[in-house]
C-alpha cells in the first residue's frame, strides 16, 4: 500500500521494539502473570521428568512402600500445579492477544478516518479491509506464539536440559549436539516462508478487491452476463493464493520431518551410549529412564521453537503493513495556528486556484477565480472532465489547492480548523450515500443529537416525510446496504433532509443525473429549492431550471473558467454556454418537455 509514513520502522528489530513498546507494555501486568504461569509450566514439566528417577529407584529397585504413596502424590500435585498454570497462561495470552488485535484495529480505523482522500483513492477498499482484518490477527498470532515460545518452550527446554545434564552430562551433550544442524535448516526455511506469506497477503488483497467489486457491481455483472467471467477471475485468484499458501505450509512444515529424524537419531544415540554405560554398570536404570523422558519431553518444545523464526517473519511483515496505515500522515489537517471559522456568512472565493491530482498530468484546475457572494447560488456547468467536481472538492478541503487560495468570508480555508470549515458546509452528492441503518439515523447524521421533532421537520422540508410514514416501520425502517431498499428519488430526499438538518450556511450540491420520473423529480426539485434558500449554494447543475435560476453561472472548460455571468448574459455572449444551452433545449423538446437532468453534461460530451 502506498502512503506517507512518519516514522515507519524499517528493520525487524525496530518493528519488534515498537510492538513491545506500543502493544505489550500497556498490558505488562497481564503479561507478567502469564509469563509467571509459563515459568511454572516449564518447571513442573521438568519436575515430572525428574520424578521418574526416584519413582523407579525407590519403588521398583529399593521397593520402599512409603514411596509408593509419596511419589504418585507428588506427581498429582505437580500435575495439578501444571494444569492450573497452563490454563492461566493460555487464557491470559489469548485475551491479551485479542486486546492487541482490538487496539491495533482501533488505531488503524482512526488512521483511515484521518487519511487523505488521495490515499484512500489510491488504495482499493478491498485491500485496506483485508489488511484491517487479517494483519492484526497475524500480529496477534505471532506475538502470542513468540512470547509463549521464548518463555515457556525455551524455559522448558532449559529445565529439561538441566535434568538431562544432572543425570549424565556426556549423554546430554550427545543429545543436544544432534540439534545443531536444525538451526541452519530453520533459518533457510524461514526465508522461504516469509516470501510465500508476503505473496499470500498480496493475493488476499486482490481477492478481497475482486469480491468487493463483484458485490458492489453485481447489477452490472448480471446485466452484462459476466458471472462466469467474474467466477473465473476469482477462481484464478483463489488458486494463486492456494499455491502461495501451500508453498508457505511446505516451507513451514519442512522442519517437521527434519526435527523428527533428528529426534530419532538423538534417541538412538542416547540409547546406544547409555546402554553401553548401563551394561558396564556406570548408569542406573532409573537415571536412564529419567534422562530419556526428559529428552523426549524436550523435543516437542524444540520443534515449537524451530517454527518461531517463520512465525516471527510473518508477524513482522503483517506489522509493517499495519503500521504503514497507522503512521499515515495526512497532509489535509489543521495548521498549527488554525482558528475556527465563526459566524460564517458564506462568501466563497477562489483566487487563482490551480490543482492537479497526484501532481501528474494536466492540471484539473488552472488559475480559477470565482467570487460567490454570501447567500447566492452559483452554478457550475461545462463539459465532462472540465473540473466541476474538483471545484466542489476544494471547498471542504477534500484536497488542497496546488496554487492560489480558496477563501470563505475572506479566510483561507487552510487557516481555518477543519471541524469549523466542514461544520459550515453541507454536501449533497450526485449518488447520495446512505448507511445501512434506519431512516432516522441517516437523517440525524446531519446533526447528531437532533430531536425527533427536528428530524421530522427536516424530512417534511425535504418532501420525504409522507413516503417515510407510508413505510411499514416509518422512521425505523432500515434502508439496506447503501440505501438500496429505497428508490433513487427517495434516497435523494433523505440526503436532502440530512443536509436540511445540518442547516449549514454553505451548500455544495452535485445534482443527480439519474433520470427520475416527473413526480419524483418535482418533489426533489422543490426540496432542493427549500434547502438552497438563504444559503450560499455551489451547484454542479444538470437541471435546466437550476441553471436558469442561478445568480451566477461559471462555465468551466479544460480546468479554466471559460465564461461567467447570468443566464441572459451568457446567452448574449453566444459562446460555449449558448451552444450547451441550445443543444439541451433541442434535446428537451425531443423528450416532450420532461426536464432531462443529464442534458447539459451529455450535450457537452457530444
Ligand atoms: N481522483 C482523481 N485522480 C486523478 N485524476 C482525477 C481524479 N478526479 C478527477 N480527475 C481528473 O481531473 C479532471 C477534472 O475532473 P472533474 O471530476 O473535476 O471533472 P467534472 O467536470 O466534474 O467531470 P464530470 O462532469 O464528467 O463529472 C479530469 O481530467 C479527471 O480525469
Using one digit for the tens of pLDDT, what is the confidence trace for 212-238? 888 888 888 888 888 899 999 999 999
Protein residue with its CA nearest to atom 14 in ligand 1:
387
Distance CA 204, CA 184 (A): 31
Q: Mean pLDDT, to the nearest integer, of 305-320? A: 80
Q: Mean pLDDT, to the nearest integer, of 161-174? A: 83
Give yes or no on whether 12-326 and 346-424+538-606 have one common fold: no
Which atom of ligand 1 is the closest one to the Cα of 390?
18
Protein residue with its CA nearest to atom 26 in ligand 1:
384
Which atom of ligand 1 is the closest one to the Cα of 365?
14
Tell me which CATH homologous superfamily contains domain 346-424+538-606.
Answer: P-loop containing nucleotide triphosphate hydrolases (3.40.50.300)
- Helix (H/G/I), strand (E/B), else coil: 508: strand
Q: In the chain, what are the domain boundaries?
A: 12-326, 346-424+538-606
297 in Cβ contact with 289 (< 8 Å): no
* pLDDT value of position 587: 65
Hey, which residues does 348 pair with through a beta bridge? Answer: 372, 408
Distance CA 449, CA 288 (A): 76
Band (pLDDT 50/70/90 cuts) for residue 593 is very low
- CA diameter of the chain: 120
Distance CA 240, CA 136 (A): 23
Mutate to test the pocket of ligand 1, among 123, 379, 387, 542 (most ligand atoms within 8 A of CB): 387
Tell me which residues have their CB closer than 6 angstroms to ligand 1: 121, 357-358, 364, 382, 384-390, 601
186 in Cβ contact with 259 (< 8 Å): no
Cα dihedral 579→581→582→587 (10° resolution): 130
Distance CA 304, CA 418 (A): 51
CA angle 264, 267, 270 (to 5 degrees): 150
Which atom of ligand 1 is the closest one to the Cα of 601?
25
Band (pLDDT 50/70/90 cuts) for residue 143 is confident
Distance CA 255, CA 154 (A): 18
Which atom of ligand 1 is the closest one to the Cα of 380?
21
Tell me which CATH homologous superfamily contains domain 12-326.
Answer: ABC transporter type 1, transmembrane domain (1.20.1560.10)
Band (pLDDT 50/70/90 cuts) for residue 579 is confident
Q: 320 C-alpha vs ligand 1 centroid, how far in Å?
A: 33
137 in Cβ contact with 101 (< 8 Å): yes
* pLDDT value of position 520: 67
Q: Which residues contact 157 (CB under 8 A, 6 or more apart)?
A: 298, 301, 302, 305
Q: Which residues contact 522 (CB under 8 A, 6 or more apart)?
A: none
* pLDDT value of position 518: 66
Amino acid at each position: 500500500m502506498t502512503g506517507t509514513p512518519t516514522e515507519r520502522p524499517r528493520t525487524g528489530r525496530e518493528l519488534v521494539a515498537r510492538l513491545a513498546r506500543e502493544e505489550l507494555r500497556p498490558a505488562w501486568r497481564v503479561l507478567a502473570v502469564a509469563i509467571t504461569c509459563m515459568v511454572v509450566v516449564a518447571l513442573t514439566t521438568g519436575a515430572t521428568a525428574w520424578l521418574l528417577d526416584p519413582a523407579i529407584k525407590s519403588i521398583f529397585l529399593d521397593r520402599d512402600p512409603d514411596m509408593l504413596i509419596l511419589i504418585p502424590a507428588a506427581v498429582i500435585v505437580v500435575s495439578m500445579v501444571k494444569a492450573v498454570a497452563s490454563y492461566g497462561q493460555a487464557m491470559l495470552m489469548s485475551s491479551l492477544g485479542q486486546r492487541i488485535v482490538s487496539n491495533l484495529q482501533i488505531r488503524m480505523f482512526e488512521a483511515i478516518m484521518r487519511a487523505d482522500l488521495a490515499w484512500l483513492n489510491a488504495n482499493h477498499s478491498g485491500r485496506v479491509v483485508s489488511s484491517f482484518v487479517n494483519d492484526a490477527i497475524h500480529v496477534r498470532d505471532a506475538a502470542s506464539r513468540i512470547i509463549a515460545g521464548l518463555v515457556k518452550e525455551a524455559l522448558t527446554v532449559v529445565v529439561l536440559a538441566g535434568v538431562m545434564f544432572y543425570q549424565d552430562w556426556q549423554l546430554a551433550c550427545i543429545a543436544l549436539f544432534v540439534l545443531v544442524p536444525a538451526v541452519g535448516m530453520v533459518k533457510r526455511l524461514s526465508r522461504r516462508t516469509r516470501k510465500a506469506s508476503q505473496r499470500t497477503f498480496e493475493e488476499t488483497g486482490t481477492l478481497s478487491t475482486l469480491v468487493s467489486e463483484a458485490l458492489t457491481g453485481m447489477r452490472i455483472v448480471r446485466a452484462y452476463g459476466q458471472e462466469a467471467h467474474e467466477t473465473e477471475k476469482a477462481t484464478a485468484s483463489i488458486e494463486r493464493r492456494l499455491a502461495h499458501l501451500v508453498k508457505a505450509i511446505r516451507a513451514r512444515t519442512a522442519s517437521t520431518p527434519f526435527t523428527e529424524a533428528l529426534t530419532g537419531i538423538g534417541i538412538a544415540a542416547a540409547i546406544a551410549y547409555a546402554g553401553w554405560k548401563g551394561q558396564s554398570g556406570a548408569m542406573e536404570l532409573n537415571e536412564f529412564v529419567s534422562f530419556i523422558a526428559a529428552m523426549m519431553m524436550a523435543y516437542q518444545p524444540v520443534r515449537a521453537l524451530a517454527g518461531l523464526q517463520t512465525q516471527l517473519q510473518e508477524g513482522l511483515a503483517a506489522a509493517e503493513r499495519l503500521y504503514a496505515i497507522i503512521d499515515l500522515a495526512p497532509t489535509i489537517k489543521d495548521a498549527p495556528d488554525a482558528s475556527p471559522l465563526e459566524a460564517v456568512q458564506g462568501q466563497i472565493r477562489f483566487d487563482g486556484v490551480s490543482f492537479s491530482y497526484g501532481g501528474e498530468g494536466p492540471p484539473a484546475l488552472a488559475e480559477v477565480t470565482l467570487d460567490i457572494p454570501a447567500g447566492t447560488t452559483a452554478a457550475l456547468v461545462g463539459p465532462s472532465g472540465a473540473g466541476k467536481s474538483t471545484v466542489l472538492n476544494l471547498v471542504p478541503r477534500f484536497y488542497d489547492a496546488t496554487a492560489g487560495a480558496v477563501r470563505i468570508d475572506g479566510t483561507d480555508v487552510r487557516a481555518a480548523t477543519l471541524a469549523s470549515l466542514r461544520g459550515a458546509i453541507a454536501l449533497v452528492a450526485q449518488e447520495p450515500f446512505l448507511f445501512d441503518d434506519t431512516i432516522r439515523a441517516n437523517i440525524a447524521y446531519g446533526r447528531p443529537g437532533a430531536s425527533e421533532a427536528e428530524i421530522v421537520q427536516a424530512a417534511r422540508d425535504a418532501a420525504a416525510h409522507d413516503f417515510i410514514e407510508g413505510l411499514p416501520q416509518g422512521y425505523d425502517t432500515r434502508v439496506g446496504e447503501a440505501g438500496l431498499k429505497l428508490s433513487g428519488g427517495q434516497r435523494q430526499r433523505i440526503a436532502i433532509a440530512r443536509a436540511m438538518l445540518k442547516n449549514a450556511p454553505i451548500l455544495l450540491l452535485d445534482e443527480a443525473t439519474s433520470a427520475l420520473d416527473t413526480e419524483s423529480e418535482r418533489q426533489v426539485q422543490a426540496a432542493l429549492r427549500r434547502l438552497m434558500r438563504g444559503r450560499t449554494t455551489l451547484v454542479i447543475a444538470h437541471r435546466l431550471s437550476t441553471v436558469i435560476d442561478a445568480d451566477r453561472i461559471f462555465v468551466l472548460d479544460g480546468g479554466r473558467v471559460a465564461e461567467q455571468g447570468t443566464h441572459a448574459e451568457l446567452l448574449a455572449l453566444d459562446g460555449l454556454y449558448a451552444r450547451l444551452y441550445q443543444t439541451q433545449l433541442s434535446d428537451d423538446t425531443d423528450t416532450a418537455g420532461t426536464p432531462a437532468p443529464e442534458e447539459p453534461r451529455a450535450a457537452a460530451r457530444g
